[in-house]
């Protein structure tokens, strides 16, 4: 997604030719490896030329889908059902008319087609792609060789990393307490600024965060300062340009299911792009997110705040956001052309109805806080107009989507400061019964309790106790009598055995389950890593709360089988090792030891009941055969039998043979499938499992 920013700083600048790698999406980090949108914009709008893309025929189809959605918007758009009273709703938007106007304005001479911006170069049957005196040769393994005038000038291995991973930000302890109502700016730059993160926000409502168009890698940066992903479980997607939706896709693939708020039109466009980028059907992707369609023209209650949305004036469908809580209010313009002179001109040309014009001219400048974009017309608001606004408005305004050099000195406007330490607090007082609400957040947000009936909430509130702890405090020690189950509300807890940190739990993590089902003493020490707030439930009360539910059987299995040996096997699997501690604990509840050890040369037949399981190698190894040829050897942590979850009707058969004495863990497909759908990032990583 940052290809444009990286190449702008290279010697020679942004290339005109791009070669698409075999894999177009990095499932490990949740980002596209073939994001061509902004390089194409750059070459077309600034250089007045085309971008050449060298790729396979199948990749061409996927890239065309992405580019068409981003450049021109969705082919089909029926906004009427999205408005509270249809076409009579104030601000009703004829999306097709507005998209068509901007499409024609992209150049002098009329409507722009994708062929005006992009030239595709597809290899022939021999794997050769030729343009001018340059030849690009592909082999079946994804290796690439490049020749110029018959001389080889470059060779790229099929396993060469496409994206250079920057070192993760160092972890620092930041004592950040989210406001009752406020805004954190994650980035205030635009898509072509190599020195700034692209625009994105966190709206804090009742101490819970919802991201608005999160920049790429923003969740990683937040985790580095101790902000748990579970504290931010909602996203508002304003539109489907890459500088706004790339981080949204990454956040969806981070951990648990995200609540996604936008209009149906934008959602469908986003899913179409996501399917093309990832190579996973839209229908599957839709199961990995909880979508909440917003209605324009009536209030939406989200997290206890009151939200209003409307379509802005932009090249593709885009929504602006208004939010209020306890008498305080804010507005985020999103990408928009908000110049009254331009709006009136479009009405005069018949592009906008009177209803639409009047609504756009009545922008809510009176809100306590105004976050507004600025950029190059006709799809962004000119800085000159914002500078002309009354002084009182400019004092309440923060600029986003802007380059610092474009802000005139002395104009009274300021760029939104970024980072948690610069969070703008609107000064709303804490609400009554705040601790009870926080406890209910745990009850509804921890997947362990997801299947409990609502009437259990009262029992939960009566039995749970909240306690606060300082860093290095000991919650319990190895050998102590176990009498309580714990859930982390905030902060981090290390689970330690013989000076080895087995795992670290943050918000939403739970531990102490062994004491629920036996009188066995604590098998490890729980030590506070950073200042933390815990929720504890005494043993008998916890057993009463979960008796007869799926949570009881899950915790029982975790208590029985979660040990150092299982943790080490999971750690040796690159996909499973990347999971959060809470995700691993939940997975441990699905894993059980296979009934017996396997002897060397013994075939592991995935037939009958065995076909309904995936297998994790506990000890030893497994050779994988296809068509009588050995294609792989798996060692401890190796995972197989997963492919059938995604392709149950596939006739491609593999043979698995024990290599030496081998022990396995098994995971039933039904449980694993539910787990994957609750954990989108794991789903995407396993989707392309070879066997």
* pLDDT tens digit sequence for 531-549: 999 999 999 999 999 998 8
What burial class does residue 443 get, using C-beta atoms within 10 Å of its C-beta: 0-12 exposed, 13-18 middle, 19+ buried? buried
In three-state secondary structure terms, 134 is: strand
Burial of 472 (0-12, 13-18, 19+ CB in 10 A): exposed
Instruction: Please give the mean pLDDT across all residues of the chain.
Output: 91
Cβ atoms of residues 282 and 74 within 8 Å: no
Instruction: Please count the other Cβ atoms lying within 10 Å of the Cβ belonging to residue 58.
Output: 11
Q: How big is the CA angle at 432 (ends 431 and 437), to the nearest 5 degrees?
A: 85
Q: How far is the C-alpha of 140 from the C-alpha of 127, rounded, in Å?
A: 8
Q: Between the CA of residue 690 and those of 160, 382, 456, what are the distances in Å? A: 19, 51, 42
**Contact of 166 with 155, CB cutoff 8 Å:** no
CB-based contacts of 633: which residues, under 8 Å, 6+ apart?
Answer: 621, 622, 623, 624, 659
Segments in 589-666 forming alpha helices (H): 643-646
Confidence of residue 256 (pLDDT cuts 50, 70, 90): confident
For 190-219, give the DSSP string: -TT-TTSPBPEEEEEETTEEEEESPPTTHH
**pLDDT tens digits for 71-128?**
999 998 999 999 999 999 999 999 999 999 999 998 887 899 999 999 999 999 999 9
Per the CB < 8 A criterion, the answer to whether 587 and 579 are in contact is: yes
Residue 168 has pLDDT above 70, yes or no: no
Please state the φ and ψ torsions of residue 134, each to the nearest 5 degrees. Answer: -105, 140
Residue 454, number of CB atoms within 10 A of its CB: 8
- pLDDT score for 680: 92
For residue 363, report the phi and psi dihedrals to the nearest 5 degrees.
-65, 140
Lowest mean pLDDT among 63-72, 159-168, 634-643, 679-688: 159-168
**CA 149 to CA 163: how far, in whole Å?**
28
- Whether residue 223 is predicted with pLDDT greater than 90 in this model: the reply is no
Tokens found for residue 460: 């939960």
As a whole number of angstroms, the distance between CA 76 and CA 194 comes to 34
CA–centroid distance for 137 within its chain: 35
The ranges of the chain annotated as CATH 2.60.120.10 are 434-561, 582-687
Tell me the per-residue pLDDT of 436-454, one tens digit each, with 9 for 90 and over.
888 988 888 888 887 788 8
Which tokens sit at 542? Answer: 């916890």
Mean pLDDT of 504-530: 92
Chain centroid, CA 424 distance in Å: 24
Whether the ω angle into residue 378 lies within 30 degrees of 0, i.e. cis, is: yes
pLDDT of residue 166: 62
Rounded-to-integer distance, Cα 33 and Cα 281, Å:
18
Look at domain 582-687 and name its CATH class.
Answer: mainly beta
E-assigned strand segments in 446-524: 465-469, 474-476, 484-497, 500-505, 510-511
The answer to whether 138 and 55 have CB atoms below 8 angstroms apart is: no
Structure tokens at 579: 């999971």
- State the average pLDDT over residues 212-240: 86
Q: What is the pTM of this model?
A: 0.92
Q: Across the strands, what pairs with 659?
A: 621
* Structure-block tokens of residue 69: 């959605």
Taking a C-beta distance cutoff of 8 angstroms, is the pair 511, 526 a contact?
yes
Question: Does CATH place domain 434-561 in 2.60.120.10?
Answer: yes
373: how many CB neighbours lie within 10 A of its CB? 24
SS3 of 8, please? helix
Pick left, alpha or beta for residue 472 (phi over 0 → left; psi -120 to 50 → alpha; otherwise beta): left
Distance CA 93, CA 173 (A): 47
> What are the backbone angles phi and psi of residue 418, rounded to the nearest 5°?
-100, 160
The answer, yes or no, to whether residue 1 has pLDDT greater than 60, is no
14-19: average pLDDT: 94
Residue 179 near residue 428 (C-beta atoms within 8 A): yes
CA gap 660, 666 in Å, rounded = 19
Q: Which residue has the higher pLDDT, 419 or 192?
A: 419
The winner for highest mean pLDDT among 196-210, 217-231, 258-272, 505-519 is 258-272
- The reply to whether omega before 519 is within 30° of 0 (cis) is no
pLDDT of residue 688: 86
Query: Which SS3 state, helix, strand or coil, does residue 23 take?
Result: coil
**DSSP run (H or E) holding 63:** helix 57-72
What mean pLDDT comes out for the span 468-479? 96
Instruction: For 338-383, write each residue's pLDDT tens digit.
Output: 999 999 999 999 999 999 999 999 999 999 999 999 998 999 999 9
For the chain, give percent helix, strand, coil, nearest 5: 30, 30, 40
434 neighbors 407 (Cβ within 8 angstroms)? no
Q: Provide the 3-class DSSP secondary structure of residue 662.
A: strand
């Amino acid at each position: 997604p940052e290809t444009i920013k990286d190449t702008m700083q290279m010697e020679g600048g942004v290339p005109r030719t791009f070669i698409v790698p075999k894999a177009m999406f990095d499932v490990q980090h949740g980002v596209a490896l073939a994001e061509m949108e902004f390089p194409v914009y750059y070459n077309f709008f600034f250089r007045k030329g085309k971008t050449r893309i060298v790729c396979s025929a199948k990749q061409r189809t996927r890239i065309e889908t992405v580019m068409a959605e981003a450049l021109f918007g969705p082919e089909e758009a029926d906004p009427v059902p999205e408005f509270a009273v249809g076409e009579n709703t104030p601000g009703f938007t004829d999306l097709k008319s507005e998209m068509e106007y901007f499409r024609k304005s992209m150049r002098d001479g009329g409507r722009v087609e994708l062929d005006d911006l992009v030239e595709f170069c597809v290899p022939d049957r021999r794997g050769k792609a030729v343009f001018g005196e340059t030849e690009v040769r592909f082999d079946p393994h994804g290796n690439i060789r490049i020749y110029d005038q018959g001389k080889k000038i470059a060779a790229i291995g099929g396993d060469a990393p496409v994206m250079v991973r920057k070192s993760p930000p160092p972890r620092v302890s930041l004592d950040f307490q989210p406001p009752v109502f406020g805004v954190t700016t994650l980035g205030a730059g635009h898509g072509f600024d190599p020195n700034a993160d692209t625009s994105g926000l966190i709206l804090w409502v009742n101490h819970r965060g919802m991201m608005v168009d999160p920049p790429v890698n923003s969740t990683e940066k937040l985790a580095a300062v101790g902000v748990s992903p579970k504290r931010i479980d909602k996203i508002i997607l304003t539109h489907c340009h890459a500088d706004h939706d790339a981080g949204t896709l990454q956040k969806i693939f981070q951990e648990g299911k995200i609540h996604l708020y936008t209009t149906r039109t934008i959602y469908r466009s986003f899913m179409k792009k996501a399917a093309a980028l990832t190579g996973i059907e839209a229908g599957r992707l839709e199961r990995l997110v909880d979508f909440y369609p917003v209605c324009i023209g009536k209030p939406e209650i989200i997290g206890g705040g009151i939200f209003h949305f409307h379509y802005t004036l932009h090249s593709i469908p885009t929504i602006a956001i208004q939010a209020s809580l306890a008498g305080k209010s804010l507005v985020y313009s999103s990408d928009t052309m908000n110049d009254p002179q331009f709006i009136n001109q479009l009405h005069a040309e018949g592009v906008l109805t009177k209803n639409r014009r009047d609504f756009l001219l009545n922008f809510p400048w009176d809100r306590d806080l105004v976050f507004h974009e600025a950029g190059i017309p006709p799809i962004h608001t000119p800085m000159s107009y914002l500078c002309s606004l009354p002084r009182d408005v400019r004092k309440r305004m923060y600029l986003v989507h802007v380059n610092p050099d474009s802000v005139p000195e002395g104009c009274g406007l300021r760029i939104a400061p970024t980072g948690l330490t610069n969070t703008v607090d609107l000064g709303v007082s804490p609400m009554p019964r705040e601790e009870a609400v926080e406890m209910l957040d745990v009850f509804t947000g921890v997947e362990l309790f997801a299947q409990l009936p609502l009437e259990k909430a009262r029992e939960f509130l009566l039995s749970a106790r909240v306690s606060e702890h300082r860093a290095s405090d000991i919650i319990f020690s190895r050998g102590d009598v176990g009498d309580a189950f714990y859930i982390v509300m905030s902060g981090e807890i290390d689970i330690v055995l013989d000076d080895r940190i087995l795992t670290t739990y943050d918000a939403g993590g739970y531990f102490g389950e062994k004491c629920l089902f036996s009188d066995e003493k604590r098998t490890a020490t729980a030590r506070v890593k950073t200042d933390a707030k815990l929720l504890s439930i005494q043993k008998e009360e916890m057993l009463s709360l979960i008796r007869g539910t799926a949570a009881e059987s899950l915790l029982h299995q975790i208590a029985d089988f979660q040990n150092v040996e299982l943790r080490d096997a999971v750690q040796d699997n690159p996909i499973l090792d990347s999971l959060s501690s809470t995700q691993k604990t939940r997975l441990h509840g699905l894993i059980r030891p296979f009934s017996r050890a396997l002897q060397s040369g013994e075939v592991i037949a995935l037939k009958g009941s065995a076909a309904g399981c995936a297998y994790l190698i506990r000890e030893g190894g497994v050779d994988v055969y296809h068509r009588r040829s050995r294609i792989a050897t798996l060692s401890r942590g190796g995972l197989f039998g997963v492919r059938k979850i995604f392709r149950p009707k596939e006739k491609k058969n593999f043979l698995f043979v024990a290599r030496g004495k081998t022990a396995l863990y098994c995971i039933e497909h039904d449980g694993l499938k539910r787990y994957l759908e609750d954990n989108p990032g794991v789903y995407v990583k396993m989707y392309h499992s070879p066997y």
